[in-house]
């Protein structure tokens, strides 16, 4: 059974509410009448072609990169990186 | 104005100045942070690089054109070992672990990054007021906004604090501040320059681009940063634009402009009359000028913001304080995400994330998000048809002159509508350049995809004509 999720839950932002200013923009789209509705008949052509996909290889990070990634981690204790308590619902 | 890069290069080669003194001079003018353009000064890195350039010159080795030239970087680009904050509370202590491809190409050419520049947080804004580092002040009148989101970059260039700066443009974020501060700013064709290492706002329109005081410097920096990058699979291989090609104005026969932009009730009367006067001058120079039909401003702005908000909601969902960023601990993981994001995102960023999740959610995606995608397709088709009859489209950059600092964030809808003339070209992924001529906030020159060279050629003609 599907569960209705409000925008504050979807956005992980406490007390978040839809904005009046943004809703006015959405009203314009709702009222618009595009001449065709095939949203994926795109002329954008910015997708990557299968022939040009890069090789699926693991690239080892440099020592400096690893060190900065660890340094950016918000919390550590006794040389372990600490994450928040995970709950299961 | 002639190329600053060429002039400084010659002075370095002739040893009229040392690279260290050039870099130090720029650091000295940036340090007081008079216009709130500076998030981080890269003084140690810059002076170390400058010493190496001086040593090379002293040993008689030739140097490249960009070698030793100081430049600024909008604070949304990764430069390894430097703070990259996106002007946000969430990332105010974040250090880049790697370097963006576009910036690496400039480093490889010997250019020296000296400053990470203030901007709207995550690119969310048109005034560079949505930042934890203080509102950026306009270079011409410090009571006015700098424009945004690349406001710090445009002001640094206009004040000669940097020789050039690298901005980011999603819906006008290079072109509008360039217009507000009377400098050149280019949004290249989408995919011409790699986005790898640019903090993502709306991935389908995000573009890397240069801001400079001369057209030639735009060309030099564009050529250096362009090219296919396996780390950004939307990039394509482009042909460098030659200096000579900028004189080939005969390749351009017909110029178009959008009637409804000029008939828009919101346009400033002086911007309108100056624009129409420019049109007359272009006609008098023998070009065929065609008025074109286009989408209403409200439709353009609404389509752009619907898609940009959806993409930013997705892109910023990774910012939850788990692996990096300012985590605020709460009773469990979900609460930690929620409190971290609530406390660390600005009101404008939250507004856009919530808007994005609204349009992506079940029940709304068909009615809003998919419909906006369909309108975007129509906009692209419209451009394709236009470019079968004209070579270039020109338009004003903004409907109005820059507002006073403090007024934009109070009225988000007015701020969104101020992007009316820039967002259409972003949705079309077209090369578009702001030139500091024609109206108080400049002119935009646009061509078909991958015709960035044609844009520069017409800009070169306009520079001489005006």
pLDDT single digits (tens) B352-368? 999 999 999 988 888 99
Please identify which of the residues B3, B150, B173, B395 carries the catalytic annotation: B173
**Residue B408 confidence (pLDDT) above 90:** no
C-alpha distances out from residue B174 to B35, B60, B216, B281, Å: 18, 38, 17, 26
ipTM above 0.85, yes or no: yes
pLDDT value at position B304? Answer: 97
Residue B231 is among the residues annotated as catalytic for this protein: no
Please tell me which residue of chain A has the smallest CA distance to B411. A21
- Residue A46 has what pLDDT? 62
Question: What is the percent of chain B where pLDDT is above 90?
Answer: 94
Which homologous superfamily is B1-293+376-466 in? Answer: Amidase signature (AS) domain (3.90.1300.10)
d(CA B136, nearest CA chain A) in Å: 24
**Taking 50 as the threshold, does the pLDDT of residue A26 lie above it?**
yes
Under DSSP, is residue B75 helix (H, G, I), strand (E, B) or coil? Answer: coil
Query: How close does chain A come to B236, measured CA to CA in Å?
Result: 9
CA dist., res. B454 & res. B86, Å (int): 33
Q: Please, what is the end-to-end C-alpha distance for chain B in angstroms?
A: 13
Q: Where are the domains of chain B?
A: 1-293+376-466, 300-367
From B448's Cα to the closest Cα of chain A, the distance in A is 12
Q: Looking at the DSSP assignment, which residues form a beta bridge with residue B212?
A: B164, B184
| pLDDT bucket at A87, cuts 50 / 70 / 90 | low
- pLDDT surpasses 90 at A86: no
For residue range A31-75, what is the model confidence (pLDDT) as tens digits?
Answer: 998 876 555 455 455 667 788 787 888 989 999 999 999 999 998
Average pLDDT, integer, range A5-25: 93
Q: What is the DSSP string of B110-173?
A: T-EEEEEEP-SGGG--SSS-SSTT-PPBPSS-TTBB--SSSHHHHHHHHTTSSSEEEEEESSST
A2 pLDDT higher than 60: no
The pair of three-digit structure tokens given for residue A88, joined into one six-digit string: 């299961």
The yes-or-no verdict on residue B412 having pLDDT over 80 is yes
pLDDT for the residue numbered B316: 98
Q: Give residue-wise pLDDT tens across range B247-283.
A: 999 999 999 999 999 998 899 999 999 999 999 999 9
Identify the pLDDT of residue A1: 44
Helix (H) or strand (E) holding B373: helix B370-386
pLDDT of residue A36: 61
| C-beta atoms of B358 and A46 within 8 A | no
B114-136: pLDDT as tens digits? 999 999 999 999 999 999 999 99
> Looking at the complex, does the CB of residue B230 fall below 8 Å from at least one CB of chain A?
yes
Give the integer Cα–Cα distance in Å for B421 and B69.
Answer: 33
Which pLDDT band, with edges at 50, 70 and 90, does B223 fall under? Answer: very high
More confident residue, B425 or A56: B425
């Amino acid at each position: 059974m599907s569960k209705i999720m409000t925008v504050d839950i979807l956005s992980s932002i406490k007390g978040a509410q839809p904005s009046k200013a943004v809703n006015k923009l959405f009203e314009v789209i709702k009222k618009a009448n595009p001449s065709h509705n095939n949203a994926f008949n795109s002329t954008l052509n910015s997708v990557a072609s299968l022939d040009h996909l890069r090789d699926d290889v693991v690239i080892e990070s440099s020592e400096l990169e690893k060190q900065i990634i660890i340094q950016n981690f918000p919390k550590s204790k006794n040389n372990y990186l600490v994450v928040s308590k995970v709950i299961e619902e | 104005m002639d190329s600053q890069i060429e002039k400084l290069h010659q002075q370095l080669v002739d040893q009229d100045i040392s690279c260290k003194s050039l870099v130090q001079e720029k650091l000295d003018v940036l340090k007081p942070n008079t216009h709130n353009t500076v998030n981080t000064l890269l003084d140690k890195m810059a002076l170390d690089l400058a010493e190496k350039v001086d040593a090379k010159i002293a040993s008689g080795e030739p140097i490249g054109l960009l070698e030793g030239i100081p430049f600024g970087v909008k604070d949304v680009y990764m430069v390894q070992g430097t703070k990259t904050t996106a002007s946000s509370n969430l990332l105010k202590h974040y250090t880049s672990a790697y370097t963006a491809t576009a910036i690496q190409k400039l480093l490889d050419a010997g250019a020296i990054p000296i400053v990470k520049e203030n901007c709207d947080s995550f690119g969310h804004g048109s005034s560079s007021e949505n930042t934890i580092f203080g509102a950026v002040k306009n270079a011409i009148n410090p009571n006015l906004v700098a424009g945004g989101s690349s406001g710090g970059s445009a002001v640094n260039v206009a004040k000669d604090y940097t020789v050039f700066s690298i901005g980011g443009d999603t819906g006008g974020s290079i072109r509008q501040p360039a217009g507000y501060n009377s400098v050149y700013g280019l949004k290249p064709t989408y995919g011409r320059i790699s986005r790898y290492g640019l903090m993502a706002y709306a991935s389908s329109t995000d573009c890397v681009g240069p801001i400079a005081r001369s057209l030639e410097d735009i060309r030099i920096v564009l050529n250096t940063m362009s090219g296919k990058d396996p780390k950004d699979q939307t990039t394509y291989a482009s042909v460098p634009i030659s200096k000579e090609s900028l004189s080939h104005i005969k390749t351009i026969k017909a110029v178009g402009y959008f009637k409804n932009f000029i008939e828009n009730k919101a346009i400033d009367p002086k911007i309108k009359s100056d624009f129409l006067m420019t049109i007359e001058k272009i006609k008098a120079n023998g070009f065929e000028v065609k008025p074109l039909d286009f989408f209403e401003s409200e439709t353009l702005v609404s389509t752009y913001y619907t898609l940009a908000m959806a993409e930013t909601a997705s892109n910023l969902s990774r910012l939850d304080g788990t692996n990096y960023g300012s985590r605020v601990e709460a009773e469990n993981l979900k609460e930690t995400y929620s409190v971290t994001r609530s406390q660390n995102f600005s009101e404008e960023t939250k507004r856009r994330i919530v808007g994005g999740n609204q349009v992506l959610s079940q029940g709304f995606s068909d009615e809003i998000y998919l419909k906006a995608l369909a309108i975007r397709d129509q906009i692209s088709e419209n451009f394709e048809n236009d470019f079968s009859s004209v070579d270039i489209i020109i338009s004003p950059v903004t409907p109005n002159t820059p507002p006073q600092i403090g007024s934009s964030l109070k009225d988000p809808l007015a701020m969104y509508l101020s992007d009316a003339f820039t967002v259409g070209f972003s949705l079309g992924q077209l090369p578009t350049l702001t030139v500091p001529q024609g109206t108080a906030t400049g002119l935009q020159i646009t061509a078909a995809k991958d015709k960035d060279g044609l844009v520069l050629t017409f800009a070169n003609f306009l520079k001489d004509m005006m």
